[in-house]
Structure 1
């Protein structure tokens, strides 16, 4: 084999390795950057202040992925808290405001856990009587509710701004809220 052919083979090998390395870094970089940024947080702007909810992909990866996807599309901006029961929870995430709606995406399979409990500030997926019917709706606990443990998918916890959740307009008993409060804006941050 002559030297020019050998050199051409070496150069071609180096170029192929460089191209492969470029594509490997390009694909892995966004995922690595998010991992280095920290845990995902759902930041809600309410009428009275900012609520920071740490998302829990370790408990409910499918639900957290859905919340991030919908938030990045602007789905939750302007959505009302249609069901708010004093001393229990505030529910939102329905674009119709009736409690009967959801996103255009398919429903999610339940990701129930007994590792976490329904305590004040927990955020979970709202659903119908079918355990695999969660879509976009969620609820935030005002108080502990151990009777819900293992019955609904927990996917987050309020880490700051619970005092603003407490100020969400309540309904009368279990009745829908009249002129309900809404999520002014929602975004995802990594901390």
Structure 2
């Protein structure tokens, strides 16, 4: 009986350690630093697509090809790896992977500072690009500015009170909410985004010097540690 109890205890302990992390994290590295991003479980199609591409090394060597200070930095265009197109002045932003990802909108997922969101072209379903994304730098808003947005670009859509406070204290880009899918957020080193957003650029918002990236999917152990550090392991 004692041996059976010991065996059961070992099996239960092993099962506990084998339990997967609650969240998946990825790391984006550049010459300007690196960020770690938590991908949202609420947007599984975008999460899984990003992980699939990252594991294949799709993003490695692609550029942050469009940057606007106090707004966002955009990357993930496969054309930016093409030596005939990644020279300064060449237009980027039209590359794709041959498919789109259906929009996954939730009121609780919004464009606060550090949000990861999917770029897209102008399509009625608001389906996302299969590969291009942006990270929000954003800016802080006053109540007056938010009220003006609601009456104007938001066409009367109210901003929830909790989000309103974040847009006032932390910042973001509220006019993009419910138009582009938000599917993750920066959890460490947001200053990388600030540095890239501040680089010199041309009239098309392309950095004058290329900003390539490397994207790494963190291991289960690393994800568990981050869940614990962020208090998301409960």
Same fold by TM-score, threshold 0.5 exceeded?
yes
Residue of structure 1 equivalent to 2:175: 147
The answer to whether the aligner puts 1:121 opposite 2:114 as a matched pair is yes
Change over 3 Å in CA distance of 1:150–1:181 after alignment to 2: same
Residue of structure 2 equivalent to 1:87: 70
Task: Give the TM-score, by structure 1 length.
Answer: 0.76
CA contact under 8 A between 2:109 and 2:183: conserved in structure 1?
no
The structure whose Rg is larger is 1
| Structure 2: gaps of 5 or more residues | 1-16, 81-91, 139-171, 225-234
* Count of aligned positions: 157
Whole-angstrom CA distance in 1 between matches of 2:21 and 2:28: 19
CA contact under 8 A between 1:110 and 1:134: conserved in structure 2?
no
Which residue of the other structure, out of 89, 102, 105, is the alignment partner of 1:112? 105
Secondary structure at the counterpart of residue 102 of structure 1: coil
**Residues 68-103 of structure 1, C-alpha deviation per residue, up to 9 Å, x if partnerless?**
000000001111001000110000010112100022
Q: Which runs of 4+ in 1 moved over 6 A?
A: none
Whole-angstrom CA distance in 2 between matches of 1:38 and 1:116: 17
CA contact under 8 A between 1:94 and 1:136: conserved in structure 2?
yes
| Structure 1: gaps of 5 or more residues | 1-31
Task: Give the TM-score, by structure 2 length.
Answer: 0.62
Residue of structure 2 equivalent to 1:16: none
Whole-angstrom CA distance in 2 between matches of 1:148 and 1:161: 23
The answer to whether the aligner puts 1:54 opposite 2:38 as a matched pair is yes
